[in-house]
Amino acid sequence: MLSPRMYSKLDQVKEVGGANQYGKYNDFDLVCKVLQMFKLDAYTSELRVCDDTGEIYFTQIYNLKFRSLREGAYVRIRSANLENHH
């Protein structure tokens, strides 16, 4: 069982995942639902994910590592960061 202390809500990502005093971005964990998957090429896919706050984010994954991931699945994303966020 995951307690709320073990993950961040998507609407809190900008605060918990922001840059620290050393210019590095903080890691955070998420629990979210995969809404859509877009296959970009043979190696990567883009996911549209959301949680119970209603915030929607996009992330990229490696197809070879996450072969069993499907739309509608609930996942825990560990050590996410906003380093490539625009």
What is the percentage of the chain residues whose pLDDT exceeds 90?
21
In this prediction, residue 24 carries a pLDDT of 72
Please state the pTM of the whole predicted model. Answer: 0.69
In this prediction, residue 43 carries a pLDDT of 93
44: confidence class by pLDDT, cuts 50, 70, 90:
very high
User: Which candidate, 2, 11, 16, 7, places its Cα nearest to that of 50?
Assistant: 11
What CATH number is associated with residue 52? Answer: 2.40.50.140
Our count of domains for the chain comes to 1
73 lies in some domain: yes
Amino acid residing at 10: L
- Residue range(s) defining the domain that contains residue 60: 31-81
